[in-house]
């Protein structure tokens, strides 16, 4: 398995199992299938509401000798209601307890959006904190403390744009080491990729296949289907692979990790094969030149009249 390398020499497998949208009752078996197939990178988050079951699968995998803890790379994410400095560690300890782990390999601030403590998804203005209430510097200092204590090996963020990354970098001390964002041929994120590489921030692509199975409440009726794209299909035919392999290889061949979610044993195995698919430069260039650009996870659920945040707090200017 190819890896990306952190500044201290630690490695993260370039392809991992995503667990967003994996339902309780399904994610346990999916994690075990993934480990049995050769996955060594599992991506989790508190808000996925399935970390306890993921933890049960990890415990069984360790007990059965399938893998040792130090052979796995486990990521989790701090939810929006734990952004105050005094709440950051509480958020981590809950995830560690649910996952039945003593440390995480990577811990990310899930969104640059703050809720009041105990809020799952804010439904009105009173349930939000503003940047004045809880500045990003406060949250990042809490994350730095977790790393200093050895509770997490690496720290970073998810869904942060260049402006927010610059704000965190200006704080000093331990710098962000990862930025996890939506990425695929229909959302190349060129400027963000260039900035992260220039500042030694690794990247992970979530929803690399378009997240077609997400809730209807956050989908649009006219969404494009990358699996039907002529360029993607042509390249898939050339390499005798499926469209999913090409979509995953797109990021991997850019030096970016991917975390496709699946609870299907065959697809879990098939996705893993994409980690070894080397695209010729001309084929990668074709994918990079696809004109259709679309953000499947648009973030509007955190904006609008109910919220103090706008889309400019999340994404790069179009």
Tens-digit pLDDT profile for residues 195-210:
999 999 999 999 999 9
| Alpha-carbon torsion angle 169, 87, 178, 14, nearest 10 | 170
Q: Which residue out of 48, 107, 131, 206 is catalytically annotated?
A: 48
Q: Helix axis angle, 27-37 relative to 51-63, nearest 10°?
A: 40
**pLDDT mean by block of 10 residues, the chain; 318 residues:** 97 97 89 98 96 97 98 98 98 98 98 97 96 97 98 98 98 97 97 98 96 66 91 98 97 98 95 95 97 92 94 88
The whole-number pLDDT of residue 77 equals 98
Catalytic residue at 48? yes
Structural domains of the chain sorted by starting position, each given as residue range(s) with its CATH number in brackets = 12-215+224-309 (3.20.20.100)
Rounded to 5 degrees, what are φ and ψ at 108?
-120, 145
For residue 126 the two structure tokens come to 């009173």
Buried b (16+ CB within 10 A) or exposed e, 219-233: eeeeeeebbebebbe
User: In whole angstroms, what is the distance from residue 146 CA to residue 256 CA?
Assistant: 25
Q: What pTM did the predictor assign? A: 0.96
The whole-number pLDDT of residue 211 equals 73
């Amino acid at each position: 398995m190819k890896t990306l390398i952190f500044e201290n020499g630690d490695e993260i497998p370039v392809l991992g199992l995503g667990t967003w949208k994996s339902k309780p009752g399904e994610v346990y078996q999916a994690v075990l299938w993934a480990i049995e197939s050769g996955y060594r990178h599992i991506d989790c988050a508190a808000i996925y509401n399935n970390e306890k079951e993921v933890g049960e699968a990890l415990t069984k995998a360790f007990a059965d000798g399938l893998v040792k803890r130090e052979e796995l790379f486990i990521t989790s994410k701090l939810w929006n209601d734990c952004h105050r400095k005094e709440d950051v560690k509480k958020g981590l300890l809950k995830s560690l307890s649910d996952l039945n782990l003593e440390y995480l390999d990577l811990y990310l601030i899930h969104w640059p959006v703050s809720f009041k403590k105990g809020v799952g998804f804010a439904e009105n203005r009173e349930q939000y904190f503003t940047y004045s209430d809880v500045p990003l510097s406060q949250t990042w200092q809490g994350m730095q403390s977790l790393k200093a204590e050895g509770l997490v090996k690496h720290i970073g963020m998810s869904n942060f744009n260049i402006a927010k990354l610059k704000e965190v970098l200006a704080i000093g001390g331990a710098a962000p080491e990862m930025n996890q964002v939506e990425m695929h041929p229909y959302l190349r994120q060129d400027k963000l990729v260039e900035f992260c590489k220039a500042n030694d921030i690794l990247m992970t692509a979530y929803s690399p296949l378009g997240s077609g199975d997400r809730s209807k409440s956050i989908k649009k009726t006219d969404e494009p289907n990358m699996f039907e794209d002529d360029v993607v299909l042509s390249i898939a035919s050339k390499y005798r692979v499926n469209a999913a392999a090409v979509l995953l290889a797109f990021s991997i061949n850019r030096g970016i990790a991917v975390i496709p979610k699946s609870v299907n044993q065959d697809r879990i195995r098939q996705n893993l094969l994409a980690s070894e698919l080397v695209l010729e430069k001309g084929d990668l260039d074709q994918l990079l030149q696809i004109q259709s650009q679309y953000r499947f996870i648009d973030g509007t659920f955190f904006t609008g009249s109910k919220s103090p945040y706008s889309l400019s707090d999340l994404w790069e200017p179009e």
